Amino acid sequence: MPGPGLELIGQEEIDQVVDVLRSGHVARYGDDNDPTFLAKVQQLEREISVRSSVRHAVAVNSGTSALWLIMASLGIGPGDEVIVPGFTFIASISAVVHVRARPVLAEIDESLNLDPRDVESRITPRTRAILAVHMLGNPARLAELHAIAQRHGLWLIEDCAQAFGASYRGRPVGSIGVAGALSFNIFKTITCGDGGMLITDDGDLYERAFALHDQGHLPLRKGVEMGRRALLGLNFRMTELSGAVLLAQLRKLDRIRDHLRAQKALFKSRVAELPGIRFRDLPDPKGDLATFLTVFFPSEEIARRVATKLETRVAADSGWHIYNHMEHLLGLRMATDKGCPFNCPSYFSEPPDYRAGMLPRTDAITARTLNIGIGVDDPNLGAAFGVTMHDGPEEVEERAARFIEVAGPLLR
Ligand SMILES: Cc1ncc(COP(=O)(O)O)c(C=O)c1O
């Protein structure tokens, strides 16, 4: 079972979907005066914006779309650079590329998120934004990244796809930067199969994002509002069916988080005594979503031997999350070979030089990293070993004992 929300799909989600199907209104728009129109997507947007402490939310069909919309709405485009971590899901990078801007890869540190000092060293006159990705359920070093963004006049954007339900110094993720992107794919905290959400406190950004996601229209249009469309958009709308599933899932979010936190605390306490291992740095331990327990081994060799025995893999071997394995990025492969962002003589004299091994600290850290799944079973994140949402303390005890049995002899 990939993520915690998926494991909890039950009667509540079924009832919500049946309501929508019975109503006959399966798209996000309907007549507000028609009592059979249930407006689930609008309700979801309201509930998620309240929960996230921001004024606005735009429901979309994926987290990738939400990221693209944020950057497009900010006017980021050809000639611009966006700083992204080398350890992230490919979408954080491809969203930059598809607004025709250039991703600039930066190192992570032992928080497994962006290293602020490295970010600052990569700022150029072309930099427009820093994309802080909250990997594996834990917020990046937002205070430092926010200060850097302010100092250099840049946007701080939050990729919260893996961290909906986490917070940083008491504030929900996505409410600290100019905007945040959520994902509801099957590996995420809550899910509807595929879906996403853009959250922001910025009214102008909201209007632009809404227009871009719905063929140029103003928010919550009442029909085809001729003469009032601000810009040319596309269609990334969420359906009522997805909205309905997510409303039921949203009501389970606190339960999911409490369960994950308790399970992770127990797992960590059991393996903490192993000599030579360390845990990931958490910039705000209280805000951890707790979907993973990350262990650093003293050497790559030990980490790989433990991973093999537990039938999982080290983070460096992920096929989705490590720049070294993004052959389409390293090969500068776009659907067209004309123009931005890679071969873009109008703005850049040279194509970018992405190479395997170009982020040695990220490589060294991820090669020693094993992620134990606490609520997410994602072999690509190196979390094929662990517990899932339906497991309880007994399973944690059993898996922790297995971990000690495998890792213990190699650490002595
Ligand atoms: C960090 C991160 N960003 C963005 C995305 C993209 O989300 P989606 O799959 O909903 O497009 C994901 C999905 O796995 C992710 O993990």
Distance 274 CA to ligand 1 centre (A): 33
What is the Cα 62 distance to its own chain's centre? Answer: 11
Q: Which domains does the chain have, with CATH numbers?
A: 4-250 (3.40.640.10), 253-411 (3.90.1150.10)
What is the reported pLDDT for 366? Answer: 97
pTM of the model: 0.97
Question: What is the Å distance from ligand 1's center to 408 Cα?
Answer: 35
The model's confidence at residue 32, banded by pLDDT at 50, 70 and 90, is confident
Most informative mutation of 61, 162, 321 for ligand 1 (most atoms within 8 A of CB): 162
Q: Which of 185, 188, 381 to mutate to test the pocket of ligand 1 (most atoms within 8 A of CB)?
A: 185
Cross-strand pairs, 296: 278, 369
The CA 182 to ligand 1 mean position distance, Å, reads: 8
pLDDT (tens digit per residue) in 188-215: 999 999 999 999 999 999 999 999 999 9
Mean pLDDT of 112-136: 98
Instruction: Give the whole-angstrom CA distance, residue 82 versus residue 159.
Output: 13
Among 58-72, 134-148, 176-190, 328-342, name the one with the lowest average pLDDT: 328-342
In our burial notation (b when 16+ CB lie closer than 10 A, e otherwise), range 258-292 reads ebbbebbebbbebbeebeebeebebbbeebbbbbb
Mutate which of 70, 89, 93 for ligand 1 pocket (most atoms within 8 A of beta carbon): 89
pLDDT in tens, 225-236: 888 888 999 999
State yes or no: cis peptide before 341, omega within 30 of 0. Answer: yes
**Number of the ligand 1 atom closest to the C-alpha atom of 64:** 11
pLDDT score of 382 more than 70:
no
Distance CA 105, CA 82 (A): 9
What residue ranges line ligand 1, CB within 6 angstroms? 62-64, 88-89, 91-92, 133, 159, 161-162, 183, 185, 187, 194, 196
Q: How far is the CA of 46 from the centre of ligand 1 (A)?
A: 22
Q: What is the pLDDT of residue 74?
A: 98
Q: What per-residue confidence (pLDDT) applies to 316?
A: 95
Range 92-105 average pLDDT: 97
Give the tens place of pLDDT for each residue, 260-278.
Answer: 999 999 999 999 999 999 9
Distance 91 CA to ligand 1 centre (A): 6
Going from the Cα of 165 to the center of ligand 1, the distance in angstroms, rounded, reads: 15
The preferred substitution site among 61, 62, 64 for testing ligand 1, maximizing ligand atoms within 8 Å of CB, is: 64
pLDDT of residue 220: 81
